[in-house]
Structure 1
Amino acid sequence: MANTAARGADWALPVLELFGLTVLAFLVSLVAGVAFIVPMFVLGYDLAGTAVLLGATAAGQVAFLVVGYAYVRVRDVSVPVRRPSGRDLVVILAGVVLALVIATGLSVLLSVLGLVPDSVVGDVAATDPTFLLGLAALSVVLVAPAEELLFRGAIQGRLRQRVGPIPAVLGASLLFGSMHLANYSGALASVVAGALLITAVGCVFGAVYEYTDNLVVPVVAHAVYNVVLMVVAYLTV
């Protein structure tokens, strides 16, 4: 019984801690976005304009970066970062292709099931398609590094210390998907389905991180994946 309780604690404590970290990151990101928007409102800028929305997104991602970095330092989580080798580049390419195949396949499945959620990004892009190109650029310089440091470097790294690599990939990916619930609107089932699609893609990023032990690999894979999606969406709007 004691061993069972100990194993339960090994799972429960880090999961609760990292769930709290995810909530904290979301709240800090929200505050950072509001802190950016308020001066724009005072100065009379259009809050629905592309520049303001991209700026608020960037502020939120900086918050992710700060929270992830602080947690890594406080918990002394090892986050290997080095120049990608030839093998790493092959893994990046494979990861991007696999993530796109999974996302496409699951999107078709959700369409068949009538569970395709409305996209907040899509709503904005319908008014100004250049928003998609801005997001693509932001993904390369900020979104991918910030989200990968937080979810793969900090959260997956901490879970790996406590419960091993496979549960770490799954746990970090679920938290990664849950953070994207705010990206969707519509019926609850559709919103959850959209977040689970992101979770599946997150598992690919988590797997390539574990395989290469180099955070640069999922960062680049994530950035390329986002750029492909944004450019394709821009061309089809």
Structure 2
Amino acid sequence: MVTLLVVALVVSLVAGVAFVVPALVLGYGIDTTGVLLGSTAAGQLAFLAVGYAYTRYRDVEVPVRRPSKRDLLFAGGGVVAALALAIALSLALTALNLVPDSVIGEVAATDPAFLLGLAVLSVLIVAPAEELLFRGAIQGRLRQRVGPAGAVVGAALVFGSVHLANYTGAFAPIVAGALLIAAVGCVFGVLYEYTENLVVPVAAHATYNVVLLVTSYLAA
């Protein structure tokens, strides 16, 4: 799993740089909304490619099918559970003075429209790419080794660790923020195990992100 994670991060970084360099040559600033969204999309597409390649290489089955009514109910319940968990943990981190500074928040302070762009990317690219890599590939592979419970927790921790880069500030709040994301990742992992359909955590993940991003935009 460590090798897969490293490969995914490296390929994602290379893809992001490959997008940014031509943009800089054309005179666009690295901190402009279009460049930031484009590099994010490039990095997430790299996650998608690595996740797909790994499932084929390791023969990890990733069930994808049209969601049934039961699947949609699970997805909706998962969104509610993820949001409730995130709010509860955020309140706890606030009480413990462990709220990290957000990179996304810093960018959005300059251009709130960045949040709407991320919301669109979440539906089109981010949720499908991250769920294929973390739930489909990593959780699927861990399930073969340690069973479903260990796979859900293990994949969620890897999912959270990747999001360490989302935060700035002191070490403890950054780790706390990543653990919050890992906890939400457990919700997506449970959805995947119960429904055996990757579309369900993708839908829940996308909706969860959209709710948070649009709410942040309206607040901004």
When normalised by structure 2's length, the TM-score is 0.99
Per the TM alignment, residue 26 of structure 1 is displaced from its structure 2 partner at its CA by 1.0
Please say if 1:182 is aligned against 2:165. yes
Aligned position for 1:70: 53
Aligned position for 2:209: 226
Aligned position for 1:13: none
Please say if 1:235 is aligned against 2:213. no
Q: Which amino acid in 1 is paired with 2:124?
A: V
Aligned position for 2:102: 119
When normalised by structure 1's length, the TM-score is 0.92
Please say if 1:87 is aligned against 2:70. yes
Q: Which among 179, 183, 197 is matched to residue 214 of structure 1?
A: 197
Q: Which amino acid in 2 is paired with 1:133?
A: L
Percent identity of paired positions between Structure 1 and Structure 2: 71
User: For 1:177 and 1:31, how far apart are their aligned partners in 2?
Assistant: 21
Aligned position for 1:191: 174
Please say if 1:203 is aligned against 2:186. yes
Please say if 1:142 is aligned against 2:100. no
Per the TM alignment, residue 22 of structure 1 is displaced from its structure 2 partner at its CA by 1.0
User: For 1:68 and 1:186, how far apart are their aligned partners in 2?
Assistant: 30
Please say if 1:132 is aligned against 2:115. yes
Runs ≥4 residues deviating over 2 A = none
Please say if 1:39 is aligned against 2:7. no
Aligned position for 1:10: none
Please say if 1:49 is aligned against 2:32. yes
Q: Where do residues 96-107 of structure 1 align in structure 2 (5 Å cutoff)?
A: 96-107=79-90
User: For 1:115 and 1:155, how far apart are their aligned partners in 2?
Assistant: 29
Q: Which amino acid in 2 is paired with 1:68?
A: G
Greater radius of gyration (CA):
1
Aligned position for 1:19: 2
Per the TM alignment, residue 31 of structure 1 is displaced from its structure 2 partner at its CA by 0.9
User: For 1:224 and 1:77, how far apart are their aligned partners in 2?
Assistant: 26
Task: Report the count of equivalent residues.
Answer: 220
SS for the counterpart of 2:42 is: helix
Per the TM alignment, residue 46 of structure 1 is displaced from its structure 2 partner at its CA by 1.6
Alignment deviations for residues 180-228 of structure 1 (CA, whole Å, 9 cap, x no partner): 0000000000000000000000000000000000000000000000000
User: For 1:96 and 1:218, how far apart are their aligned partners in 2?
Assistant: 9
User: For 2:199 and 2:67, how far apart are their aligned partners in 1?
Assistant: 7
